[in-house]
């Protein structure tokens, strides 16, 4: 059985949210980040959270069995958080066969959806299983450990899209069926809370 580590990206400054970190907004019986951690724990015991902006505030609510990685260059964007997270993983004793990269602000992509990605990764010949966003692919995505050196070199705000693009022939696509919503503004948050 393939083993995976989960890297949750939660380093952003929530600039469009107004009034503090969206990672700590209430969601169900926890927070957006707490919810992401709960979903990830249904897939793996190896959970890493990358923090940056508001790290002091956010780390207080992260469970002890989740490892925190601090990204000092969080302002450079998602690519830098992936890079810092993967470098940390490569230097740890953990040697998973793949890494699931996910965001803290996509609460509708729950454990059931993540399990679908994991199942494809375990049972089909591929290096990447990625989420479809219409004409492009992105995270949540699982990357085979052979791709970790490439992920560790992401140092700007490009995310993992071009690595997925480069390995398209070895990539399986999963369709989120409308669940791929990012919560970026207060208005979006209020809308989803009211519709739940």
Give per-residue pLDDT as tens, 132-179: 998 899 999 999 999 999 999 987 657 788 899 999 999 999 999 989
pLDDT tens-place string over residues 9-32: 999 887 777 667 899 999 999 999
Report the pLDDT value the prediction gives residue 160, as an integer from 0 to 100.
86
Residue 194 or 180, more confident: 180
Whether the CA torsion 88, 92, 97, 101 is positive or negative: it is: negative
Main-chain dihedrals φ then ψ at residue 135, nearest 5 degrees: -90, 5
Q: How confident is the model at residue 115 (pLDDT cuts 50, 70, 90)?
A: very high
The per-residue pLDDT of the chain, averaged, comes to: 91
CB 148 within 8 A of CB 97: no
Give the CATH class of 4-195.
Answer: alpha beta
pTM: 0.94
Residue 2 or 94, more confident: 94
CA nearest 22: which of 7, 6, 11?
11
What residue spans define the domains of the chain? 4-195
Please enumerate in sequence order all residues whose Cβ is within 8 A of that of 141, keeping only pairs 6 or more positions apart, or say none. 100, 101, 117, 128, 129, 130, 131, 160, 164
- How far apart are alpha carbons 93 and 103 in whole angstroms? 24
Report the pLDDT value the prediction gives residue 36, as an integer from 0 to 100.
97
Report the pLDDT value the prediction gives residue 95, as an integer from 0 to 100.
86
pLDDT average, residue stretch 88-112? 93
């Amino acid at each position: 059985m393939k083993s995976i580590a989960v890297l949750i990206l939660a380093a952003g400054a929530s600039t469009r949210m107004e009034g503090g970190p969206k990672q700590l907004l209430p969601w169900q019986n926890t927070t957006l980040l707490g919810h992401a951690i709960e979903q990830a724990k249904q897939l793996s015991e190896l959970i890493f959270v990358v923090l940056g902006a508001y790290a002091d505030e956010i780390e207080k609510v992260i469970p002890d069995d989740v490892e925190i990685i601090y990204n000092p260059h969080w302002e450079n964007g998602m690519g830098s958080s992936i890079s810092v997270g993967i470098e940390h993983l490569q230097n740890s004793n953990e040697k998973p066969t793949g890494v699931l990269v996910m965001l803290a602000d996509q609460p509708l992509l729950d454990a059931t959806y993540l399990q679908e990605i994991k199942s494809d990764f375990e049972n089909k010949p591929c290096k990447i299983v990625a989420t479809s966003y219409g004409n492009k692919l992105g995270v949540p995505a699982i990357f085979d450990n052979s791709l970790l050196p490439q992920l560790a070199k992401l140092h700007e705000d490009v995310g993992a899209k071009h690595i997925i693009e480069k390995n398209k022939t070895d990539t399986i696509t999963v369709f989120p069926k409308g669940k791929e919503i990012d919560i970026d503004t207060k208005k979006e948050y209020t809308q989803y809370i009211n519709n739940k």
